[in-house]
Structure formats: C-alpha cells, structure tokens
Structure 1
Amino acid sequence: MTSDGIAAESSGATRERYIDVVRRLTAAQKPAARSAPAYSRFVNRRIGRYLAAWAYRAGLSPNAVTAISAVWTFVAIALLIVLPPSWGQGIAVAVLLLIGYAFDSADGQVSRLQGTSSPAGEWLDHMVDATKVSTMPLALAIGFYRFDVVPTLWLLVPIAFAIVSAVLFFGMILTEQLRRRTAGSVPLATEQPGRPSWMRALAVLPMDYGVLCLSFVLLGAVPVFVVVYTLIAAATTLFLLLAAAKWFRELRSWSPDTSATTQKGDL
C-alpha cells in the first residue's frame, strides 16, 4: 500500500462513526476458547471492544494501546506497595487493574481493525502480561510486609501465587506454540471441539483475572481479603496442575509424520 493509501485509510478511520466501528468489531470478534472464564469473556471483551473503537478512531496503534494498558496496571501494582490497605486503596487498585485489563483486550482488536498484526506487537503484549502476573502478588506481599497487617507466614501465599502465575502463563503460551507445530492434529484453544458454555465459564471464575482484580476491593477488610485471595490462589494452583497434565497428554499423543516434520527447537 502506498503512503497516500495509508493516509487515506487513516483519514477514513477518523470519519467512520464510532458505532459503526463497534459493529465491525462485533462481527469480526475472535471466537472465545471453551475454557474462557465469565468476566473475561462476557464483560472484559465487550469493554475492550468499546475502547478499541475509540482508540481506532483516535489513530492509536496497537502498541500504544498496550502501553496504555501497562500504565494503568503498573500504577495499581505500585499502589499495593506504597499505600496501606484500606477501602480507598482497594477500590483504586481494582479500578485501575480493570481498566488496564480492558485495554489489554483492546490492543488486539485495534490490530485487527488496522490490519497491523505483527510478531513484535504480540511479543510486547505477552511481555507486559508476563511482568504483571508476577509482580502483582509480589507487590501485595511487599505492601503487607511493610504495613505489618498479616502474619508473616501468610506472605508465603502471594509469593507462591507469583510462581504459579508465572508458570501458568508460560505454560499457556508454550502449549499454544507447540500446538501450532502439530499442523492441526492438536487443536488450538480456540479450536477445541464443543461450544463455550455458561457452565464452564462460571466454573473457572476463580481463575479469572478479572475476578482477581475485583478481589482487591476487599483490601479495606484485610481478614476477608486474605481468605478470598487464598482461595483464588489455591484454585489457580489446582487449575495449573490439571491443565498441565492435560497439555502434556495432548502433546504426547501427537506423532509427527514424515510430511510435517519440524525442526527441533523452532518455535
């Protein structure tokens, strides 16, 4: 496409009505994975769609939207360290995290609208996600230690959660990459047989990142928050163990044929 064509396309994006952009996004929405939890699937994707339409009309690039998501998210994480637990702090942290999460959903949608999907953009998105899932529980542990609001032994919960979150994120990304190498014999998460259901979406709610964000509202009542957070951490750990076993079985069942041989270590 020529520079004049790009300029015309950009000009057209600014003239397109907001509601028309939203409708285009709705029609082009990627299918949700069968295991997609309720908040992420039914709430966050919708909010992200509205933000993506705004960003598209504003001429923002997908990487700029990723950067906006990172700013909201890491400001929230910083508040966990610098402010003592309170209702005000908890609400602020939850709102900031949820806005960051919505922009995280929006960047990919902007990319599809602009037709600018790239390995660099996907890399940036995953790097931000990998950083936040590890730093959030560690920031919580540091903040609780600084303000001495929980027994020291309990600090092992968010520290362990940081490890579980990092391993789960890596496992999900690596499993999808390896599934692609099987040339379709092991379906991707969005290609699993069967349709997404309300029952499944509700069953995995404890592992929903949106629910984790909402849990910080309870920081004004630390004993209640500690119970809820520990249950979320335990549920996520159980999910990781079950998912890891399932992923291993899927990949172990794949036998490459001579026509689809791939280079070892080529991801």
Structure 2
Amino acid sequence: MTGDGYTESAATPAARPASRESYAQVLHRLAAAQKPAARSAPAYSRFVNRRIGRYIAAWAYRAGLSPNAVTGISAIWTFTAIALLIVFPPSWILGIVIALLLLIGYAFDSADGQVSRLQGTSSPAGEWLDHMVDATKVSTMPLALAIGFYRFDVVPTAWLLVPIGFAIVSAVLFFGMILTEQLRRRTAGAVPLAAEQPGRPSWLRALAVLPMDYGVLCLSFVLLGAVPVFVVIYTLIAAATTAFLLLAAVKWFRELRSWTPDPSAASEKGDLR
C-alpha cells in the first residue's frame, strides 16, 4: 500500500521513451492504467490527491525523474513542514505554509508509484523507501507539533498527551495496514487484498472515513493561527483515528484468524500459528 491508500495490484503499463510522448499522451496513458481503489479509501486521498499526483507523475516522467527521486522530493516538502512546527510559534501564516507543504508532499507521495508504473520500474526497494518515508512522517509530525506547542507554551501541558498519543496510534495503524496486507498475500487469495474486497468504493464510505484521511490532517493546519480551534479539530481527528484503529484491528484479526494455513507450508515456514 502506498501513501495514497491504494494497492500496487494493477498491471504495469509498458514503458515508452518519455521524450516521444507529449504531456497529454502521458496523462492519458496513466489514467487508463490506474490501480483500483480500495473500498476504504477516503475522499481527499481518492478524488483529489490521486488526481494531483497523476499530473505530477506525468511531469516527472517526462522530466526523466526516477520514482525514488519523486519519493525524495515528497520527503523534502513533508519534513520541511514538520521542522517548521518546531522552529516557529503558531500563526496563521505558518499554518497555511505548513498545510501547503504537507499537501504538496502528499501529492508527490502519490506520484512516485505512478511514475514507477509508467517507467515499468516497480521494485521492492522503491516500495521499501516509500513506506519508510511514510512511517517516519506519521510518527514525527505529531511529535513535532507537541514539541513546538511545548516550546512556545500555547496549550495546557496536559493537552500535549494528545499528539504524543496520536504518534503511537499513527505508527501502529501504519504498521498494521502494511502487515495485514502482507499476510493477506500469504493466504494465496483466501483473504482478499484491500483492493479485492467485495463491493465497490462509494462516496458514502469515502466521506465516512474522511476524519482518518491524511489529506484532511494536512488541511487542518490552516487553522494553526487559531490555536483553540485547531486543538479541538486535531483532537477530534486523533480520536477518530484511534477509534478506526481499534475497529480495523478487530476486523483484520478476524479475517486472518479465519484462514487455515496448509500444515505442510506451516512446517516449512516455521512461523505460522
């Protein structure tokens, strides 16, 4: 699973020399080979970020950038925003800048996988790099917020437990999503992957999971200049994400528990219970 909530299950389109295709041609080819949306993909990630990432991917492809370079650009935008949370006191200008930086970084995060499909260069190393950057950002962002708020003494000390707890929840949720998808693959189709879950993605479901959408979290920083309002919104997002983690963990465990592994495969692996 990449940062935009989609699985890498679609066939990779045949790579072509970037210089021979116009920007419009690359966009058309990329749109025709989009990977399927997971049923639980939230609205911003699915309908906004993925489309912006497509435009960036077409540009990056024609510019000759590798998927890893696009991941690196995403990291620069994102971690610059995270650093600003620590360095400067909360303000309207800072909040807007941070939101823009995070959203741009998120769009590039969506683009790296699309570039790899255009180039036909998908690799375990590229997926590893993408996930490592994602894992780092979901933990460091709330911790940076807590440090910044503590430095400039803008909230009651007790509230700092919210972003600290959110860092733990975000790390566990990200790990759980990645691990669950990997274990689903080991069931040889007995437990469907996220993109193969029965039913079609719907607007209602996409809107229902908006509070857990990383894009919504990025947008919330626009309110950083009004700290009391931001604190309420951020706390609600953290609470919704925590509830989602608890419900998802139960669902994932039940799915995997329903699968009975082949005894011979278990004895060979030595790690299936």
TM-score of the pair, normalised by structure 1: 0.94
Partner of 2:230: 225
- State whether structure 2 residue 212 is matched by structure 1 residue 198: no
Q: Is the 8 Å Cα contact of residues 62 and 110 (structure 1) preserved in structure 2? A: yes
Unaligned runs of 5+ in 2: 1-13
Deviation at residue 47 of structure 1 after TM alignment: 0.2
Partner of 2:43: 38
- Equivalenced residue count is 258
* Partner-residue secondary structure (3-state), 1:255: coil
The letter of the residue matching 1:233 is A
Unaligned runs of 5+ in 1: 1-8
> RMSD value over aligned CA atoms?
1.5
* Partner-residue secondary structure (3-state), 2:198: coil
1:172-191 equivalence runs, <5 A: 172-191=177-196
The letter of the residue matching 1:55 is A
Q: Using the alignment, how far apart are the partners of 2:101 and 2:33 within structure 1?
A: 28
Deviation at residue 197 of structure 1 after TM alignment: 0.1
Cα 1:169–1:216 change in 2 (3 A) is same
Partner of 2:254: 249
Deviation at residue 172 of structure 1 after TM alignment: 0.2
Q: Using the alignment, how far apart are the partners of 1:69 and 1:219 within structure 2?
A: 22
Q: Is the 8 Å Cα contact of residues 37 and 208 (structure 1) preserved in structure 2? A: yes
- State whether structure 2 residue 52 is matched by structure 1 residue 47: yes
Deviates further, 254-263 or 46-55? 254-263
* Partner-residue secondary structure (3-state), 1:80: helix
Q: Using the alignment, how far apart are the partners of 1:93 and 1:63 within structure 2?
A: 23
Deviation at residue 12 of structure 1 after TM alignment: 2.5
Q: Is the 8 Å Cα contact of residues 212 and 232 (structure 1) preserved in structure 2? A: yes
Deviations 1:160-207 (A, max 9, x none): 000000000000000000000000000000100000000000000000
Partner of 1:213: 218
- State whether structure 2 residue 124 is matched by structure 1 residue 119: yes
Q: Using the alignment, how far apart are the partners of 1:263 and 1:67 within structure 2?
A: 35
The letter of the residue matching 2:249 is A
Deviation at residue 263 of structure 1 after TM alignment: 1.6
After TM superposition, where is structure 1 displaced by more than 6 Å over at least 4 residues in a row?
none
Partner of 2:93: 88
Cα 1:260–1:194 change in 2 (3 A) is farther
Q: Is the 8 Å Cα contact of residues 88 and 220 (structure 1) preserved in structure 2? A: yes
1:157 to 156, 162, 168: 162
Q: Using the alignment, how far apart are the partners of 1:74 and 1:85 within structure 2?
A: 17
The letter of the residue matching 2:109 is D
The letter of the residue matching 1:105 is S
Q: Using the alignment, how far apart are the partners of 1:20 and 1:201 within structure 2?
A: 30
Cα 1:130–1:67 change in 2 (3 A) is same
Q: Is the 8 Å Cα contact of residues 94 and 213 (structure 1) preserved in structure 2? A: yes
Q: Is the 8 Å Cα contact of residues 10 and 59 (structure 1) preserved in structure 2? A: no
Deviation at residue 265 of structure 1 after TM alignment: 4.3
Deviation at residue 15 of structure 1 after TM alignment: 2.6
1:133-152 equivalence runs, <5 A: 133-152=138-157
Deviation at residue 258 of structure 1 after TM alignment: 5.0
Partner of 1:4: none
Deviation at residue 105 of structure 1 after TM alignment: 0.3
Q: Using the alignment, how far apart are the partners of 1:30 and 1:11 within structure 2?
A: 19
Q: Using the alignment, how far apart are the partners of 2:263 and 2:167 within structure 1?
A: 41
Q: Is the 8 Å Cα contact of residues 15 and 118 (structure 2) preserved in structure 1? A: no
Q: Using the alignment, how far apart are the partners of 2:16 and 2:186 within structure 1?
A: 39
Deviations 1:116-174 (A, max 9, x none): 00010000000000000000000000000000000000000000000000000000000
Cα 1:144–1:33 change in 2 (3 A) is same
Partner of 1:130: 135
The letter of the residue matching 2:253 is F
Deviation at residue 256 of structure 1 after TM alignment: 1.6
